[in-house]
Amino acid sequence: MAKKNPKIASPKEYVPDYVAIAAMQSKGGNKWMKRAACRGKTSIMFPKEHKDITYIAEARAICRDCPVKTPCLAYAMQYPMADIHGVWAGLTSRQLAAKQKKLGIKPVKPTLSQLWGD
């Protein structure tokens, strides 16, 4: 009987290094966006009416089989969740904030108030 290698995580335990992915994106641009399943569907993914949450199920369905969910998630997690709306990689801003907190990821992008400040 073969021994299990304790250093190799099972697929359920694997957590991508979102910080490293985001760093690669900043160097190489966001070419992944061209392959996103949501491309051209901005009104579904990021509606202008923030209080209407009926779009979430449709947006998540678009994300479900998207080939670029990991880089999308890494991109979103670079930002403060107070400035994020819509659905990114199938997650709402509240879910993204919880994931940032759980993984100990600190946003590296400035908030809108920092950009527009004096």
- In tens, the pLDDT along 27-76 reads 666 788 889 999 999 888 988 776 678 889 999 999 999 999 988 988 88
Task: Band the pLDDT of 20: cuts 50, 70, 90.
Answer: low
Half-sphere exposure of 78 (CA within 13 A, CB side): 16
Residue 67 is assigned to a structural domain of this protein? yes
Residue 3 is assigned to a structural domain of this protein? no
Q: If you count them, how many residues does the chain have?
A: 118
Residue 8 is assigned to a structural domain of this protein? no
Residue 29 is assigned to a structural domain of this protein? yes
| Residue 102 token pair | 């759980």
Residue 4 is assigned to a structural domain of this protein? no
CB 44 within 8 A of CB 66: no
State yes or no: pLDDT of 90 exceeds 90: yes
Q: Which neighbouring-strand residues pair with 91?
A: 88
Look at the chain and report how many structural domains it folds into.
1
Is residue 25 classed as helix, strand or coil in its secondary structure?
Answer: helix
Residue 11 is assigned to a structural domain of this protein? no
Domain extent, residue 54, equals 18-107
Residue 7 is assigned to a structural domain of this protein? no
Residue 13 is assigned to a structural domain of this protein? no
